[in-house]
Every structure is written in structure tokens, then in C-alpha cells.
């Protein structure tokens, strides 16, 4: 069993224990739950003669479960985890080979500086996102999302000759940051669980933080600081 699935089972088991504690602390709900389970048990022993008891027991069981917050937490966590893991199960993944091997020449269009003081940008809670699909004026990037896959492509912009910053804070999901050659990188990452790929070197973090400098960081005139935080998810910093 792979570690992500082990993590999923452990969390669901803890939430199930929390559910049992909630039911046991409510005597009326516990009695109703036992009554529903006994009706289902009797209906299964009677086979075709116990349809009414089966329906009654099922309805009682559902009522007991939906009245517990732990049940909703179990469902929410399962939907988020399986929704993200489903891409791998179905064999669907974010583009990898084309991002590493496909090369092109991009003419960066320059514009006059724009005042971004007080500017607000709406961010989604869920969903996949890609920043940098077109030529864009550089501005420090700050992304916050609950769940989803994210690609930050810096190949379509021109970083200034100073320190630039990319911040990504995420609950669940995969993150890829594409950085052009010739830019020094300082990479800081914190996660509960996830794989880190930096300069083709991979490692797994378990409730750990890591700080990595690229070899050309001190000599490079353009430097990029990448700060990322995730609960569960892989992150890749790729040169393009």
C-alpha cells in the first residue's frame, strides 16, 4: 500500500473513532442507532420477509450518521483526497514530458510600470490553475488555494535584476514551478506529507521543512525566492 493511501486510511479511522465517541456521548442517538442496526440484522435473517425492517433500519441509521459532524468530515476528506488521487488512478496527469523537453523562443513584450498598490485579485478555493500561459508583466506571485493542481510558468515573463518572490500556500494538490535557466533559486518548503523534486533530485518529506539553494544562487544577477506550504501534495521546481 502506498503511503498516501495509508495516510487516507489512518485519517478516516481517526474520524470513525471520533464518530463513535460522538454517538456514545449522546444516549438517545446511541439507542436509536442500536435499534436501527438490530432492524437491519433481523431483516437480513428474514431475507425477503423483512423488507420493511430493512428500510426502517436503514433510514434510522442514515439519520443517526448525518446528525454527526464527524460523518461530514469523513465525507469531505474522502471527496478531496479521492478527487485529487483520482487523476493518478485514471492515468491522467499534468503534462510533464512536454514541459521539460519542449523548447521555444518567446519574445517578451515590455510595458510601462503599473501601480499595483491596493490591487485585489480573486482566488478560487478549489480547482486546477496555471499562471503564465501568456506573456505577462512580472509581479511577485502569492497563491492560496484549498485543493487543486497548480502550475506557475515563469518562462513567459522577464524577472527584474533583483530578488523576486513566489509564495504558494495549499491544502491538497500538486504544484509545479517552471523557472528559466540563469535565475538563482532559493527554495523553502513545509509539508505534512509530499514529494519534493528540485534540480532533478527527489526526496519525500513527512511533517518536515526544507531549504535549498541552487548552485548559481550567489552569482546570479536575478534571484528567485520560492516559499511553499502544503498539507498533502507533491511539488516540483523545474528548469525550462
pLDDT at 96: 46
Q: Is 197 left (phi over 0), alpha (psi -120 to 50) or beta?
A: beta
Buried/exposed 20-44: b ≥16 CB within 10 Å, e otherwise: eebbeeeeebeebbeebeebbeebe
Query: 203 φ, ψ to 5°?
Result: -155, 160
Q: What is the pLDDT along the chain (240 residues), one digit of tens a residue?
A: 456 677 778 888 888 888 888 878 888 888 888 888 888 888 777 766 667 778 888 888 888 888 888 888 888 888 887 776 655 544 444 444 444 444 444 444 445 555 555 566 666 665 566 676 666 667 778 888 888 888 888 877 778 777 888 999 988 888 999 988 888 999 999 998 889 999 888 999 988 999 999 888 888 888 889 999 998 889 999 888
Distances (CA, A) of 159 to 136, 156, 171, 182, 185: 11, 10, 28, 11, 12
**Contact in structure between 158 and 108 (CB atoms under 8 Å):** yes
Whole-number Å distance between alpha carbons of 183 and 123: 27
**Residues paired with 1 in a beta bridge:** none
pLDDT at 135: 66
Query: 149 φ, ψ to 5°?
Result: -95, 140
Task: Give tens-digit pLDDT for 87-124.
Answer: 554 444 444 444 444 444 444 444 555 555 556 666 66
* Cβ neighbours around 59 below 10 Å, total: 12
* Cβ neighbours around 87 below 10 Å, total: 15
Question: Cell 446511541, residue?
Answer: 30
* First and final C-alpha spacing in the chain: 34
- Nearest one of 151, 95, 107, 108 to 127, comparing CA atoms: 151
pLDDT at 95: 47
Whole-number Å distance between alpha carbons of 30 and 178: 54
pLDDT at 195: 92
H or E stretch at 98 = helix 97-101
3-state SS assignment for residue 174 = coil
pLDDT at 106: 46
Amino acid at each position: 500500500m502506498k503511503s498516501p493511501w495509508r495516510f487516507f486510511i489512518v485519517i478516516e479511522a481517526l474520524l470513525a473513532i471520533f464518530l463513535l465517541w460522538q454517538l456514545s456521548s449522546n444516549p438517545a442517538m446511541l439507542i436509536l442507532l442500536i435499534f436501527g442496526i438490530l432492524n437491519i440484522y433481523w431483516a437480513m435473517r428474514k431475507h425477503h420477509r423483512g423488507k420493511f425492517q430493512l428500510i426502517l433500519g436503514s433510514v434510522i441509521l442514515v439519520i443517526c450518521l448525518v446528525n454527526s459532524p464527524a460523518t461530514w468530515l469523513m465525507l469531505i476528506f474522502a471527496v478531496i483526497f479521492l478527487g485529487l488521487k483520482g487523476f493518478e488512478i485514471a492515468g491522467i496527469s499534468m503534462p510533464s514530458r512536454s514541459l521539460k523537453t519542449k523548447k521555444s523562443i518567446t519574445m517578451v513584450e515590455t510595458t510601462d510600470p503599473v501601480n499595483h498598490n491596493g490591487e485585489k485579485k480573486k482566488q478560487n478555493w478549489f480547482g486546477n490553475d496555471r499562471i503564465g500561459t501568456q506573456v505577462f508583466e512580472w509581479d511577485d506571485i502569492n497563491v492560496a488555494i484549498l485543493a487543486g493542481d497548480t502550475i506557475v510558468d515563469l518562462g513567459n515573463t522577464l524577472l527584474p535584476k533583483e530578488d523576486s518572490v513566489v509564495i504558494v500556500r495549499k491544502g491538497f494538490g500538486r504544484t509545479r514551478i517552471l523557472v528559466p535557466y540563469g535565475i538563482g533559486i532559493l527554495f523553502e518548503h513545509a509539508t505534512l506529507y509530499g514529494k519534493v523534486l528540485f534540480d532533478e533530485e527527489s526526496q519525500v518529506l513527512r511533517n518536515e521543512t526544507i531549504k535549498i539553494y541552487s548552485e548559481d544562487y550567489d552569482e546570479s544577477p536575478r534571484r528567485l525566492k520560492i516559499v511553499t506550504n502544503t498539507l498533502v501534495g507533491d511539488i516540483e521546481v523545474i528548469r525550462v
